[in-house]
A and B are shown apart, each in its own frame.
Chain A
């Protein structure tokens, strides 16, 4: 029997996922379905339900969930900057609860707009504290100046810290679609990439189809070192620009009639990894 240090993993069907929405999020159904596909319970929850601004019978408590997922879309219309408004609304209402959630080691996933929110909220890269007071990085306009939308090839470069890739072998490549205009990860820190690397915070890098170093269009936004997804130093908060929840089954891969190795989509292992790890 596997040793879990006395703490048994939860059964997937007992794992509760909060898929957070506000006006403008638009990938919440796929996100909830992705967690359901690996057996977890997933609920779409509007921010107002968490902050007590809805009728009592519809209220929800973040404390009751095991995983928090921030789906893609255009929260609050991408006004000011992508993710800035939802991040500010979270910070001013349930900021402390979210910080505690992360400190508890509970996983938080942000995809696309969700990644932008995590960066604006200071939960990523979070070098020095769980949640920095202001953003210490930015997801800025793609080098092309355009909305980029196509399948990309990602390589798992994480050495084992990130809970979301715990069952994906290092170096494995996965195909996932991207769809964003602001995906270029920037920081003021000249040693940004090195710090991420040293802390094992780099999760996915864009590569070419043959696994070699990406350049445009394989790296769709021009992020240094082809970074597509990062985690916090503890490994329980991950943000990524590509959309794993859109490729849960092979049927939504663009080449499924030609390359149908199995019916499982390349995004599924991310959800399976994290749900299996909940204690």
Chain B
């Protein structure tokens, strides 16, 4: 068994309105020094296979479904 974390985040230069709205709201609550907020999505996938294979399969999942290469980057880490 392998558990992988698939992290999908936005490519550099792609606006992140959810992140910037969150930043504004945190500031309105009085948090000081919030330089930046970015959003990302994490899928935790459990695979019945060895770790090195799981990483490859996770990357294929990103290419086929989980990430749109125009706007998103992905990274896969095995726990």
Contact = CB atoms under 8 A, between A and B. Distances in A.
Interface residues of B, number: 14
Given A134-B64, A135-B69, 11 more contacts: A84-B65, A134-B69, A137-B70, A138-B70, A138-B71, A142-B17, A145-B17, A186-B14, A186-B70, A186-B71, A187-B70
A143 interface: yes
Contacts of A137: 70
Interface of A: 80-81, 84-85, 88, 120, 134-138, 140-146, 186-188
Contacts of A142: 17
Contacts of A186: 14, 70-71
B17 A141 contact: yes
Interface of B: 14-15, 17-18, 20-21, 63-66, 68-71
Main secondary structure of the interface of B (DSSP, over half): helix
A142 B17 CA distance: 8
Nearest to A141: B17
B69 A80 contact: no
B68 A120 contact: yes
Contacts of B14: 140, 186
A138 B20 contact: no
A188 B69 contact: yes
Contact of A188 (B65, B66, B70): B70
A141 B69 contact: no
8 contacts: A138-B68, A143-B15, A144-B17, A145-B17, A145-B20, A145-B21, A187-B70, A188-B69
